[in-house]
Structure 1
């Protein structure tokens, strides 16, 4: 399948400080590609390099088959862009401002602007200086979507939007994908990206540390487990659970003949089910995969904030624990 975006060894320096370190990725045409990472990871810098707002220090970039430095206005008209920091002329109405953008971006279908504004709950006849942050963000979304561009580049698109408008935005993204448009969006919150993205790249300190499908992230995500059992000691129950592949952070509480254990599971469920089948269970809870926790572990190196604690956590009376560490991908 053709690539709408591709980068190879993309590097960007500001003075002596290098903020992008050989970034490589590609985005298939007609897909939704999400980039997530903490603030300062390099998401906005990457987008600005793609759009020739800033020039890479080295490396190659292709957007819709063109070098952005050579594409000129013709290439830019094929792209809809929402910047992370949106600055609007304050002395005009939203409608007049969008009319100005239309003259730059190219033809907009009749009624398209009003239809988008209605979906997002935006009053186009108010002066932009009177708009709240959320309404300014809606105006930015309308100008990005209105000319139905081949490629949408959206930097933190849900910033300032209330939950209902966020859901409408996600619907707009899904519709754009169904129409064959490509969407490249960024966020520092995984839950915002996973609702619409086909593929997710995790960016940390100017490096891509993982590129995964959302389904692939889910398969490898951390689940939280809790169960109670009788007829077994806390020591033996901890040892049994600790021997299951992918189990970590085991906590054991033993009281009045009942053993309660909690742990995390990063792996297949079947070995866990097999181990638990030997117990006299009173209660069992296995939560949905926690994609946020899995990604946060990728953000952090051992010993940094967000990293798993170095040893087992034990609580309760006469508690004992056996912990089998989960193998984690290094963030560096």
Structure 2
């Protein structure tokens, strides 16, 4: 079942580009990554899905419901964590979360306490006393308190220290185990690689690639690092060598060609001292697709 589905989703701000012909299909139960630098169209896509802004053309559905025709029904089962959070300063954290809980049926007092304890959030603090990181914790509790079927995260870790980021990721994995589908939008590629099953790469409002994380990093490329016993460039005239870099005695590149041919050619180099063949990081693959698109 598709939880999020878009077809040719497009948004222009006057003549300015927002997103263009975005096609997404996020399946129930997956953690789906949405990556691109700032200004690529990630937040515009999310705001269109949430019906905060209207599309110029195209179609978006959540739970099989049209995002522009049934936004109230859709929002009952969504948790949303924006990249930046702003609150009324004259409220306590507990008051704000109790108010948020009233938008949903049921009693969420225990859930709020459990989430706040996990995130080390003081419920008795005034909002204006909170740091940016603690305000982000409030937003996390808001997004999770009603155990949503779909969690939409827009640059979710901003303001969280590394320890709290790991705790937050543990929370997300637990929610996912319990059936929550997660749409994880970020420009921090290591986070996406750590959390997600599949990923869509977006640039200048257009989707460049949708692929399994494993497919992006394992099936297509290898990271090759060669060390010589003296400072010298290597002339390897092979198809599949991408993003070649040389630093003193070390040459590094991505490779998606015939590995046997590469090893044969390397065996002929007398000055070869060390050879490393590794799975590339998502960041290396991501930069390849961006550079390929620019060319």
TM-score, normalised by the number of residues in structure 2:
0.90
Distance 1:97 1:109, change over 3 A: closer
Distance 1:74-1:115 versus aligned 2 partners, 3 A rule:
same
> Would the aligned equivalents of 1:221 and 1:290 in 2 still touch at CA under 8 Å?
no
Whole-Å separation in 1 of the counterparts to 2:177 and 2:273: 47
C-alpha spacing 1:250/1:135, structure 2 compared with 1 (3 Å): closer
Q: CA deviation at 1:243?
A: 3.0
Matched ranges for 1:177-216 at <5 A: 177-216=176-215
Counterparts of 1:142 and 1:73, CA distance in 2: 21
What is the aligned partner in structure 2 of residue 155 from structure 1?
154
**Residue 249 of structure 1: which of 234, 244, 253 is its match?**
244
CA RMSD of aligned residues (A): 2.4
Confirm whether residue 223 of structure 1 aligns to residue 232 of structure 2.
no
Aligned to 1:62: 61
Instruction: State the Cα deviation string for residues 1-24 of structure 1 (Å, max 9, x = none).
Output: x10000001111112223111111
| Higher-RCO chain (CA-CA 8 Å, sequence separation at least 6) | 2
SS at match of 2:68: helix
Alignment size in residue pairs: 292
Larger Rg: 1 or 2? 1
Q: Please list, as runs of the form range in 1=range in 2, the aligned pairs for 1:57-206 lying within 5 A after superposition.
A: 57-206=56-205
Structure 2: give runs of 5+ residues left out of the alignment: none
Higher mean alpha-carbon deviation, 153-162 vs 265-274, is at 265-274
Q: Structure 1: give runs of 5+ residues left out of the alignment.
A: 254-259, 301-328
Q: For 1:202 and 1:247, how far apart are their aligned partners in 2?
A: 19
Q: Which residue does the alignment assign to 1:320?
A: none
Name 1:276's counterpart in structure 2.
266
